[in-house]
A and B are shown apart, each in its own frame.
Chain A
Amino acid sequence: MSLPKVRRIESEVSVVRDCPGTHKHICCGYKTIDLVEGCPLSCSYCILRGYLNNPGITVRTDARAVIGEIDRAIVSEATHVLRFGTGELSDSLALDDELRVNAPVVRFFGERKKALLELKSKWASIDHLKSCLNPYVVVSFSVAPQRFIDAEEKRTSPVSERLKALKKAQDWGCFVGLHFDPVVIYEGFEKDYADLIEEIAGALDLKRVIWVSIGTLRFTPLLMRLFLRENRTNLLYGEFVTGEDGKLRYLKDERIRVYGMLYGRLLEKEPALFVYLCMERADVWRRATGRQPETSEDLASFFDGRIHEFYGGSLA
């Protein structure tokens, strides 16, 4: 990965935030750590195209201050096991081999043992973290059919490389996560996703996959204008409506169909998998999965239960 223009800053501005989630939909209570802002992977559908104005990369270099802030968040949380991620305003791994910003934070989580850090990526490069990875770090990759990656995620690692990196992380003692996000409806997507799930089941130990998210494509009206201008036939193949949060998303019936299909196929491979829907409505959850989180608080409790299954009482 070639390094774009990088600005290194130390700042008083908070880097630990609640994941913004989305209005009137169920969110998982994730915390984000904005170590890096800006992403060199340039996926066509990326929400950052609408949020970030600056084409460069900004990196927070004051690790001690960042860790202090994370620690304060952990101390002040009384109810849930906190899950943090560095992949909100950037890809967690795309630049890390050069920037080396994750290592101090990764070590901190291993020592603190009270919360989880998720490294969420589409860039299959984790060897540089081998010496500091620990069970309190969840290595996660977004996954999609290779045909889709070739068209819309051109600068990212092939899905086979992502799965190899996940397997490596499992072999090193980490739990891993999978994110089917965004799932995009295009001609033949059902078969491509069925094949992808077969490939995943063949590559990973599904019993050591701590969580799997599914989220269908959603985007702002600004991105809709970009997709039209850029003639994004894959992205605009399906039928979109404006949701209660003002974002465009597939018609509810279609989302239920897609979630139901993926949820069913994943559970066929491993019935104990923990699969959650990202930024969805309670009624969609119910109809697609049979589970009934009515609020974001309910979903955060689901996560607590899952983490307890994997870590027993050593967390929280």
Chain B
Amino acid sequence: MNTIAIDKIDVNERLFCISYPLEDNLLLASIARFGILLPLGLLREDNPVIVAGFKRLDAARRLGITEVPCLYLEIGARQALLTAINDNLARPLNTVEKALCINKMLAAGFTREEVCEVAALLGLPPRENTLETAVSAASAQTPVLSFLVKRRLPFPMVEQLLWFDVEEQKSIIRLADAVGGTVGSLREMLHLMMLLKVKRGAIDFRQFEGAKDADALRQRLKRQTHPLLSGLEEKFAALMSACALPSQIKVKVDPAFEKESIDISLRAGNVREIEDALAKLQRLTGEGFFRSIFELTQGAPHRI
């Protein structure tokens, strides 16, 4: 095994780098304790370029290490890129790293079929759309890349986010960071924002500022994209609130207000509770509560 002084390596040459981000605190701690056990892979002895080991090199520099173990690889550039990808496949790659693999392969002149084969290895759908998304993602700005990694967005959601222009992406990231939420809630938020932009041509993000959580943001968005459905939901919520149902009686409607029927369930621990619940339901029926709900689920008759 050889060793090389770090200042002899062109650390700015990232041609084969598919690691993002380079900072890795676990690796840093390991190298601080044990040193670099696995040598870096380098191309060209006279003017060395790194092929494998970008994270190790970054950790070594941060620790003030001046010399690292290395292996010189006698291979061409295309083979070097495949080596870099293969070297990283042992660990789970994040979305940005997967995008970098694809983007760098395309830039290196691999055929789209060859790139699709690697996409499949990376767990991505091997199709044209994936390649397009990867190219866009690889050239996104740093805040976007950080967001993709931090929120662990899968590729279809990356495509959703990158569909927006750069300023809109910034606004979406700011909002998403403010409200938090799961990947699922972020997916719905992106979907509703896309829909809103298609419907309106532009989005005024100020109207969504101050939403206290992901659910509140979703509701604000939905009022814009689905005003009629939101209206039905609000009427239903108002009816439910006004009738003050005891907790053991549940009334549910189809979330899309498609089904005419409504579901009524009750939970009882004894005969007395059943009698009380039925008396309550009877009283509500007499007061027109259920008629009002059916007006929401049945839709208004319409003939000209």
Instruction: List the interface of chain A (C-beta within 8 A of B).
Output: 227-229, 231-233, 236-237, 239, 241-244, 251-257, 259-261, 263-265, 268, 281, 283-284, 287-290
Bound-state CA distance A289–B199 (Å) is: 30
How far does the Cβ of B181 sit from chain A's closest Cβ, in whole Å? Answer: 21
Q: Are B227 and A257 in contact (CB under 8 A)?
A: no
Residue B72 lies at the interface, judged by CB distance under 8 Å to chain A = no
**Which residues of chain B are near A284, meaning CB under 8 Å?**
299
Chain B's closest residue to A265 (CB) is B304
**Which residues of chain A are near B199, meaning CB under 8 Å?**
233, 236-237
**Which residues of chain B are near A242, meaning CB under 8 Å?**
256
**Which residues of chain B are near A257, meaning CB under 8 Å?**
300, 302
Residue B62 lies at the interface, judged by CB distance under 8 Å to chain A = no
Q: Are B198 and A283 in contact (CB under 8 A)?
A: no
Q: List 25 A-B contacts (CB under 8 A).
A: A228-B163, A229-B163, A233-B198, A233-B201, A241-B256, A241-B258, A244-B258, A244-B259, A251-B232, A251-B256, A251-B257, A252-B257, A253-B299, A253-B300, A256-B299, A256-B302, A257-B300, A259-B302, A264-B304, A268-B304, A284-B299, A287-B299, A287-B300, A288-B302, A288-B303
CB proximity to A under 8 Å, residues B174-220: 191, 194-195, 198-199, 201
**Which residues of chain B are near A237, meaning CB under 8 Å?**
199
Chain B's closest residue to A264 (CB) is B304
Q: Are B229 and A252 in contact (CB under 8 A)?
A: no
**Which residues of chain A are near B22, meaning CB under 8 Å?**
none
**Which residues of chain A are near B228, meaning CB under 8 Å?**
239, 251, 253-254
Give me 18 other A-B pairs in contact (C-beta within 8 A), A251-B232, A288-B301 excluded: A227-B198, A228-B191, A232-B198, A233-B199, A236-B195, A236-B199, A239-B228, A239-B229, A243-B258, A244-B259, A251-B226, A251-B256, A252-B299, A260-B302, A260-B303, A283-B298, A284-B299, A287-B299
With A229-B163, A251-B228 given, is the CB distance from A264 to B198 under 8 Å? no
**Which residues of chain A are near B226, meaning CB under 8 Å?**
239, 241, 251
**Which residues of chain B are near A233, meaning CB under 8 Å?**
198-199, 201
Bound-state CA distance A252–B300 (Å) is: 9
**Which residues of chain A are near B273, meaning CB under 8 Å?**
none
Instruction: List the interface of chain B (C-beta within 8 A of A).
Output: 163, 191, 194-195, 198-199, 201, 225-229, 232, 256-260, 298-304
Q: Are A263 and B303 in contact (CB under 8 A)?
A: yes
With A231-B198, A236-B198, A265-B304 given, is the CB distance from A287 to B258 under 8 Å? no
**Most chain-A Cβ atoms within 10 A of its Cβ — which of B195, B300, B303?**
B303
Bound-state CA distance A268–B201 (Å) is: 38
Bound-state CA distance A139–B118 (Å) is: 50
Q: Are A287 and B256 in contact (CB under 8 A)?
A: no
**Which residues of chain A are near B303, meaning CB under 8 Å?**
260, 263-264, 288-290
**Which residues of chain B are near A289, meaning CB under 8 Å?**
303
Bound-state CA distance A290–B303 (Å) is: 9
How far does the Cβ of A187 sit from chain B's closest Cβ, in whole Å? Answer: 11
**Which residues of chain B are near A251, meaning CB under 8 Å?**
226, 228-229, 232, 256-257
Bound-state CA distance A106–B258 (Å) is: 40
Q: Are B301 and A260 in contact (CB under 8 A)?
A: yes
Q: Are B302 and A281 in contact (CB under 8 A)?
A: no
Bound-state CA distance A125–B88 (Å) is: 59
**Which residues of chain A are near B302, meaning CB under 8 Å?**
256-257, 259-261, 287-288
